[in-house]
Amino acid sequence: MKPYVYFLGIGGIGMSALARWFQANGHQVSGYDKTATPLTEALTAEGIAIHYADAVDNIPAAVRENREQTLVVLTPAIPKDHQEWAWLREQGYDIRKRSQVLGVLTEGRPTLAVAGTHGKTTTSSMLAHLLHHAGLPVGAFLGGISVNLGSNLLLPERNRKPALTTDNSQLAADTPIVVEADEYDRSFLTLYPDVAIITSTDADHLDIYGDKDALVESFRQFAGQIKPGGTLLLNHTADASVADAVGPQVRVIRYGLTKNEGPELYSSAITAEGHQFHFDLHSVAGSAMGLQLSVPGYHNVENMLAAACVAQLQGVNSDSLKAGVAAYRGVKRRFEFIVTATSRTGPKVYVDDYAHHPREIDAFLRSLRALYPGKRLRVVFQPHLFTRTRDFLAGFADSLSLADEVVLLDIYPARELPLPGITSALLLDLITAPVKSLQTKEQVLTAAQTDDSFDVLATVGAGDIDQLVPRLRSILDSKWNGTEA
């Protein structure tokens, strides 16, 4: 790899993990992003130079003066009219997509890949945690900030029993790597995993694929790239044809919550106590009884089933597995409890979640309803992408209507330009919740200060709605608990 690495879009969750890896391995890392965030600020604190104005003169001199010694890593979110990208292309720099770089880093190494239109971040973080907690050498590139690890990157030297090369930052050739395999832009087709988990194949990213059939075909291609002798764990909700695409020497394990849904991997004796779920695991690698998961939701029990089975296949025994599941604390912005309190009328709760697909929102809100039956639920949702809002308008309306009150922010455009007629107001008209409104972020904050009619507040979405979290935390913690966050 080249000594200089320059990232266009360094603040993305996947890009930042790669930036951290290169930085840990002695490369001179720098980058551009559109806006400063807590994640870019963390990268800056780690010694990575970042700027936020698109101008060729802002590219570090070392990058501009060492074309042949520089690798440029590009996120798909960078717009086509970006000045720096245009200049780097014109000058003949080696420019690669994030997925291509990830493919190079994992080439020739045992790769444990987690794919799916939803559930992949949580499941990959669970798997990395279970292996790490058991003391096995493992690296991981995650699509979220693991609460246990405090990062989206796991380097093997952080384990208790590392297996490293002489450079203690490098991944040893036989060290397994857990990778979140992203279907967007067919990025996961750069990976050739030894073990793959596919959590779901629901329609998404139709701006890329056109229709669900093309999306499923991409998952079939991904499954077909599992190495001979490898294993595919396939969720019962995923398209069954994916299993037909694997090679003849690849084992397929189907999984689900019950034996009917996952004949080779399933749970039993599921009970919920507060925020905790208790269950028994039954897999082709053996049973593990009395598991305790502190991240709520039946969908998270299902995610843990897949992660735990792969951990078993990697040599983690039942006692270590049980301890690892109990110690798992989740991923930032995945069913993350921000503020909890007890009032004379019962619990007061603020939860934040990254859900941005109708099925994810449905699972999240149904889990909240199960945890807090009869409590008044206010949901603040920021739609993500004009195309996704257009393609799943009815699904978003149905899932959000599970709440007592729905507040919509404007659509977060990300990489897209507006589409005529596709607005949050269009979605609001279809929502059947008793109370609904369009608000700005400032209005949401004002309402949290002045209106105490809810028991459970949830902020939901994949855009910049996370900017509300620290301010809502401060308001509600002060209001409910009499403290300043």
**Distance, CA of 138 to CA of 124 (rounded, Å):** 12
Burial class (CB in 10 A: 0-12, 13-18, 19+), 347: middle
Residue 405, SS3 per DSSP = strand
**Distance, CA of 15 to CA of 17 (rounded, Å):** 5
Burial class (CB in 10 A: 0-12, 13-18, 19+), 145: buried
φ/ψ (deg, to 5) at 198: -120, 110
Q: In what order do the strands lie in the sheet with 346-353?
A: 336-343, 346-353, 456-461, 377-382, 405-408, 435-438
The answer on whether 116 is annotated among ligand-binding residues is yes
The answer on whether 118 is annotated among ligand-binding residues is yes
Helices and strands in the chain: count of H runs, count of E runs: 16, 21
Find tokens 């309306």 and name the residue.
397
The answer on whether 237 is annotated among ligand-binding residues is no
The answer on whether 121 is annotated among ligand-binding residues is yes
The answer on whether 135 is annotated among ligand-binding residues is no
Q: DSSP characters for 354-404? A: ---SHHHHHHHHHHHHHHSTT--EEEEEE-B-HHHHHHTHHHHHHHHTTSS
The answer on whether 286 is annotated among ligand-binding residues is no
Q: DSSP characters for 205-221? A: -HHHHSSHHHHHHHHHH
**Distance, CA of 313 to CA of 232 (rounded, Å):** 12
Helix 318-327 × helix 120-133 angle, to 10°: 120
**Distance, CA of 368 to CA of 348 (rounded, Å):** 12
Burial class (CB in 10 A: 0-12, 13-18, 19+), 269: exposed
Q: Whats the size of the chain, residue-wise?
A: 485
The answer on whether 262 is annotated among ligand-binding residues is no
Between strands 265-273 and 276-283, the pairing is: antiparallel
Q: Which residues contact 474 (CB under 8 A, 6 or more apart)?
A: 484, 485
Q: DSSP characters for 283-343? A: ETTEEEEEEEESS--HHHHHHHHHHHHHHHHTT--HHHHHHHHHH---BTTSSEEEEEEEE
Q: Could you tell me which of 144, 136, 89 has the C-alpha nearest to residue 114?
A: 144
Terminal CA-CA length for the chain: 43
Q: Could you tell me which of 261, 305, 260, 314 has the C-alpha nearest to residue 287?
A: 305
User: Measuring CA to CA, how many Å separate 114 from each of 180, 219, 236?
Assistant: 5, 12, 15
The annotated binding site for ATP is made up of: 116-122
| Binding region | 116-122
